[in-house]
Amino acid sequence: MNAPVLVELAGGEHPLICFPPAGAGASYFRFLADGRAVTAVQYPGRESRHREAFATSRPQLIAEIAAALAPDPRLSQATFLGHSLGATCAFETTLALQERGLRPARLVLSARNHTPPGTAPPAPDGDRATDTELRDWLLGLGGTRPEVLDHPGLSALIYTVARADLRLGAQGGPAGLVDIPLLTVCGDADPAATTAGMAGWAERTTADFTPATLSGDHDALRTDAGTLLKLLEVDA
C-alpha cells in the first residue's frame, strides 16, 4: 500500500496546503506549522513515500494530487501555497480541481517565473547535467548548505531526487485560467525568479492578482517567513 499523498503537519480549519519545491518533501513546510493548519503534498520517491518510484508524468502526478484533495471538506477555505516547482504543481492542481467544480480560496505562487503554456523556466537538464553542474545550481539558488553536498551519501540522494524533479519541471503545462485570487512572491536576490518574471501569472487568473517581494534568495519563502505570513494575513 502506498503512503498518503497528503501529510498533515498541523490540523485545523482554513489550512495552507503546500506544494514542495524540486528536491524536497512535505517536511519542507514544517516552518509554517506553528499555530496554523498546514497540510503538505508528498511527492512519490521521498520521505514517507520513499519506497515508491519517482513520478515521471506531471499530468499523472497532478491527477493524483487532485484526487487526494477533492474529498477534503476544508478545500474551499484552503490556501494553496506552491514554491518553485511546487508553484507549477499548485497552479495545475487548481486547474484540475476546477474541472471537478472545486477550488481553493486562494493561490500563492512562490519563486517560479511564468512561462507560456507548454513551456518551462530555464533549469538544468535532469538527464544531462553533471553532479558538479547540479551542485553549482543548488548552491546558487540558496537554501542548500555546502556541507550537505560534501557528504557523498547525502549528495547522491539529493541529486537523484533533483534530477527526477527537473524532468517533471521541464514538461510543459496546460493552458487555462484559475478564477481565484492569486498572490506571487519571490526573493529580491533570487537568481531564478523575479517579480517581473512572475508578472505573467496575472494573465492566468480572472480574479485579483497581487505581486510581492520577499527579502532573500530562492529560499526567501523560509528565510523571510515573517513577511510571507503577513502577506497571507492581509490576503485573507
Per residue in 79-96, pLDDT (tens digit) is 999 999 999 999 999 999
Of residues 206, 186, 205, the one with CA closest to residue 196: 186
Question: Domain span at residue 93?
Answer: 6-122+173-235
Residue 102 lies in a domain: yes
Q: Is residue 133 part of a domain?
A: no
d(CA 135, CA 39): 30
> Which residue has cell 480549519?
13
In a domain, 160, yes or no: no
pLDDT of residue 234: 60
136 located within any domain: no
Amino acid at 15: P
Q: Which residues are within 8 A (CB) of 106 and not within 5 positions of it... i.e. 6 or more apart?
A: 78, 79, 80, 180, 181, 182, 183, 235, 236
Question: In this predicted structure, what is the pLDDT of residue 1?
Answer: 62
In 3-state terms, what secondary structure has residue 82?
strand
Banded model confidence at residue 236, pLDDT cuts 50, 70, 90: very low
Domain for residue 177, yes or no? Answer: yes
Residues 6+ apart with CB under 8 A from 33: 9, 10
DSSP per-residue codes, 171-216: SPPPP--B-S-EEEEEETT-SS--HHHHGGGGGGBSS-EEEEEESS
β-pair partners for 106: 79
Asked if the structure places residue 150 within a domain, the reply is no
Q: Give bridge partners of residue 110 from the DSSP assignment.
A: 83, 185
Where do runs of H (alpha helix) occur along the chain? 58-69, 85-98, 131-141, 146-149, 152-170, 195-198, 220-223, 225-235
| pLDDT > 60? residue 53 | yes
162: in domain? no
Q: How many domains does the chain have?
A: 1
Q: For the domain that residue 45 is a member of, what is the CATH number?
A: 3.40.50.1820
Among the listed residues 231, 163, 169, 175, the one whose alpha carbon sits nearest the alpha carbon of residue 203: 175
Q: In one letter, which amino acid is 18?
A: C
Q: Provide the sign of the torsion angle of the four alpha carbons 123, 33, 5, 108, taken in this order.
A: negative
Write down the mean pLDDT value for the chain: 92
pLDDT greater than 80 at residue 208: yes
DSSP per residue, 118-129: T-------TTT-
Residue 137 belongs to some domain of the structure: no
pLDDT digits (tens, 9 = 90+) for 74-133: 999 999 999 999 999 999 999 999 999 999 999 999 999 999 998 988 898 999 999 899
Determine the pLDDT at residue 134: 87
* pLDDT tens-digit readout, 137-151: 888 887 788 888 888
> What does the pLDDT look like over 162-204, one tens digit per residue?
999 999 999 989 999 999 999 999 999 999 999 999 999 999 9
